[in-house]
A and B are shown apart, each in its own frame.
Chain A
Amino acid sequence: MLFNYQEFLDGIDREAYHAGEWQWEEDGYTVTRTYTYSAPGCHTSCGVLMYTKNGKLEKIEGDPLDPCANGRLCMRCLNLEEGVNYADRPKWPLKRVGARGENKWERISWEEALDTIAEWIRVNIDEAGFGRESIFVNHGTGRNISSWVPFLGGACLGTPNIGAIGSSGYSCYLPRTCGTAASIGDFPIVDASEGHADRYANPEWVRPDVVVIWGCEPLKSNADGYLGHWLVACMQQGTQFISIDPQLTWWGAHAAYWLPLRPATDMAIALAWLHVIMYEELEDREFVDLWCAYYDELKAYVEPFTPEWAGKICELDPELIRESARFYATAERAAIQWGLAFDTQNDSIQLCQTVSNLMSITGNIDKPGTNLLVRNGFEINPGYATAQLYCPPETFAKKLTVDVTHPGYVHFIGMADCDAVNHAFETGEPYPMKMFWSQGANAITCTGNAAPRIYQMLENVEFCVVADPYLTPTAVAFADIFLPLKTTAERDSMRVWWTPLRAMKSVSEWYEAKSDEELIVALGNKMNPELFQKRWPTLDALLQDYLDTGFNIVDPRRASPTSRPAAPRPAWWRCLTPTPTSGRSTTTTARAASSRSSRTSAATSTTTSARPIASTRRACCARTARPASPRRRAASSWCPSPPSAPGASTRGPSTTSPSTP
């Protein structure tokens, strides 16, 4: 095996790469050690060295001392300079002078731009008897601005309706977060030691034996905070692979098994895998006994879903399904890397939950080299739900929720429901959409399915503001006001997606462009001065607050953080309380400040039939005493029961039963 991480680290000339320094002079350049995000960016952030001369980005290279990417970059960052210095980037705010689509603009100052926006809202919404809910804010995909734009919507514009026009079904990432939250309570990702600063040299980490690359192409996407090529490092250290994808990818060509399923039939494979694992008793009996519930019910349920059954649906050889299931289940340490395909099927929510069961029944949860459970570093959690923090409660109550278009459904997502938004644009029900704000998003070119239909929704919207580093089709088609944004090289900002917390230090300027953060400060101090002058008068204050409270609500008068209801957990939490609450239900279980090691999570409240988790002797057995016996052991005699009081054993999940409002 040629891969040797220590040898790589030892081979780095720390002087040549200025270890420890964040900025220095080199060959007539100013070199800044920083991280990229967007735009142009991706879901992930790599350590880079930006070379600037006279305040202009001229060169970029990876930073070998950055533990995330170890100095390696994909094409997109290697070519960042062309994106940042693109000559036709808008230089200052623009006002549309021709008809929409004529691409005729006039330069205006920021002052005039913000005044125009504020004035329009005051005249056409506030004083015209409409609520701020008639403003729809379209954020782009989840790069580091996926928390800033909802925050702008709520805190500056006061609307609860933040989302992505036209992308029905939240078909990107949310199905996976909800599917796993439902049963595991946390989000699992493949352990490539990305959680440790010492990466592959970490003593506890062990590379996975088998990784299933399921419905994604991680090498090209680097999706969801995960660098696909970490898996190639695992491959070099011996990890074997299963590829589940209608198309042959590089992975499929190097995998022990490739399952070329018919598109959107992933659920059939998941159920068949469960069938094989359970009926051939390949599950991790001890883990199931100690840490899982409803195993028997699930086993009974999947009884009919044989590989033969799935083979017909997926158009696959049943033996291939059976053998690949065994290959996954019998591995000592296995993990599942999944992607967007999971979010784009009619049975997405159940699919994601079912695949998470595969991880659970094989015990591949939170062990080295398996699917480890992750949360945003330091509990800095501003996200899509940030809008509701500072949106007035009465306005928030009018958020466009899923039940508007899908009666009987319960809304458990932070964002406004996409179809409800579409419905509002098309019918004016429950209220008309008067204003469309698009920031770091290009819906009609990219995310908006049924784009021609979206065009009909937006072409007559009364007022439209587009904020973007580039003049896009969405801007030319609909914008009345265009606000130029900074690119990643020009922004002071931060982001934490799992770990580590990373800062983006600006190294250059672009005429009058503002960063997303600077836009929030400028717009907020214009539209919502009381709040902003108090908490975020300047960019520095905003950045500091991101670090201090993650934009959560702090009433300086009350020391404890619970004075005003905060919503640390996604709204879906409420739907688990036995009696549906009327009106706005707030969950009070603020997350107890906790040190890294004894993290507790709000456990799922148990419905009557769940077997409780043992909180006594078994739960507190030390990890080392864990029997190294083969996976399938005799069932233990007792069964787990829920811990009786908060702060119970470190290992078992402790619940502070949710207080009903």
Chain B
Amino acid sequence: MLFDYQEFLDGIDREAYHEGEWQWEEDGYTVTRTYTYSAPGCHDSCGVLMYTKNGKLEKIEGDPLDPCANGRLCMRCLNLVEGVNYADRPKWPLKRVGERGENKWERISWEEALDTIANWIHDNLDAKGLGRESIFVNHGTGRNISSWVPFLGGACLGTPDIGAIGFSGYSCYLPRTCGTAAGIGDFPIVDASEGHADRYNNPDWVRPDVVVVWGCEPLKSNADGYLGHWLVACMQQGTRFISVDPQLTWIGAHADYWLPIRPSTDLALALAWLNVITTEELQDKEFIEYWCAYYDELKEHVAQFTPEWAAKVCEVPADLIRDAARFYATAERGAIQWGLAFDTQVDSIQLCQTVSNLMSVCGNIDKPGTNILVRNGFEINPGYATAQLYCDPDTFAKKLTVDLVHPGCTQFIGMADCDAVNRAFETGEPYPIKMFWSQGANGISCSATAAPRVHKMLEKVEFCVVADPYMTPTAVAYADIFLPLKTTAERDSMRVWWTPLRAMKAVSEWYEAKSDEELIVALGNKLNPELFQKRWPTLDALLQDYLDVGFNLYDPETGKSYKSAGRSKAGMIEVPDVHTDFWKKHHDDGTCSFKSLVEDRCGYEYDDFCATYYKYEKGLLRADGTPGFATPSGRIELVPFATFGAWGIPPLAEHVESLTMRRWMEDPEYRAEYPFICINGSRSYEFFHSENRQQATMREFHPMPLVKVSAQTAEEYDLHEGDWIWIENTEGRCRQKVHIDPTLNPNYIHAEHGWWFPEEEPAFPHLYGTFDCNINNLTASYETGQGGIGNPLKSVAAKIYKCTEDVNEPTPGEVVTKLGGFRDDYVATEPFAWTHDNTTREGGRF
């Protein structure tokens, strides 16, 4: 084995990399040891050395002394300079002067911009008796701003309605947090010793024997605070793999077992694995006896779900299911790496809970080399639920919740329910949405399912503010006011996603751009002066508060502390002391500050929680310090009668097909018309969602959106590498370039998401080409699973045909922005018009 961590550490010339110093001069550059986050960024943060000259970022490289990434970087950070110094980045606030979509702007000062916003809110909401709930704040995906934007919504704008427009079913990450919270009470991730500063040298850590890479491509995504290549380090140290993925990935090609299941049938597989484990007595009896509950009920429930049953559903041989289950269960230390596919199915919540059962029944919980339970370091927990802290309670009570769209479901998510928001936009019920604030998000290009339908929701919104480092299709289409944001190289900020706490030190400026944090301070002091002048008059105060109390509520007079409910519960809870562990640890030695974190600790600090194994034995998981898990019974509730019961979700998991998949499987006529299952949104190394498209080097490696087709399909349709083809179903169509993948199942195609072309015409109808290639022209909102969770956007039905002269007009851009969209028969809360009629109309409009 060539992998040798100690040899790596010994091989680093500590003087050459200025160990211990956070900033120094080198070859005429100022070098700053810091961390990246966003934008442009990803879910992770790697240690970098930023080289600046005259205040301008010129070079970047990894920091070998950073324990998180050990000096390694992916393409995105290696190319950061092109993103930060992109010439066309907006330099100052802009006011729209032409029509929406004309891309005509006028420079205004920050003062005028904020005044305009404040006055508009005062004149059109406060003065007219409309509540602040009529403001909808759209945050982007969970980078380090996923707590700041909700905080802005609640504390500055006073609205409870924070979410992602058109993004039905919270179909990103939340299903997994809720699924595990219900059964285990905490979130499990694969132990690659990321909790320890000494990483692979840590004496307690042992590499996993088997890792199941299930429904994700960690190497390309680096999703959810997890660097995919940590798993390759484990592989080099002997870890073996199982891949569960409709498509072959690099890991799948190196795995002992590859299960190419039919998309969105993961729950059937999970139930069959439980069947094998429980019937062949492969479970960890001792762990179950001491720490789990309802094992017998689970065993009885899964008895019906044999591998033979699952083989028909998943279209994978029964023996392969059985052998893979045994391979996982019989491993001394097994772990499961899961990803977004779990969040995009109509049985997502039960799927996530069931797969967490696989971890539990095998005892692979919080042991070295298994799925360890993690929380944000130092209990610094501002997140999506931060809005509710400082939003007026009466206004907060009007939050758009899931029961408005899915009667019988109860709201247990911090954010506003996406479908309730969609419905409010479409119907004005229970109240009209008057203002749309989008920050660090590009909804119509990226996350909004049924993007053409979302355009109809937004094109007439009365007032729209977009804050972003770049001019995006969402900004050009709707913004009245555009606020330029700083990129990761220009921001003083911090983030902790599990561990360590990491600081981002600003190394350069960009004209009048503000960071998300500076925008909060400016907007807050304008709109909510009483609160902000008291607690957050300046950026430093804001950063300090983040470290001291994580924005929780602390009343010095009464000494009472109120904490946001955190992960999965709405509302607030009173706590004895709301200060963070970081404050408790450092307020005496005077280093509880952003400045000292940057300068004295090179920008990071590990906390103990994620570094400790067997936490459930040591009473670290329960608020009262007793052994056990943070569940009602203190045991892992394999069948979550209590929590699912409270959330209105059946505790015993059943595999459910989406509307489309059920019709695709049962209606031969429909399948003949739409022969392919279109899997969407797999990641690529070059881009993070809809970011990085401006960067020349990224486009050199990945110039155009690619739709993968099988060799057989290529032959049948006479397709060649690089041909443009249309991908179409009842909701709409888009075009992408063919890439022939000899390993792809002939029944599937795979389309990329998030594509737009900064080099092309911004104005309507082209709108940077964002609708022409947008696979979300084919997805549908409103369809979700139990608890309003999980939208099947990664398994739609589609047909394909070549882009030839006679069928290329009108372009999707024209259809959506000029011709009234692909369909005009949407019914609020109804996903597809075809549920009542199946007319497909000519002229590119359906």
* Touching chains A and B, CB distance < 8 Å: no
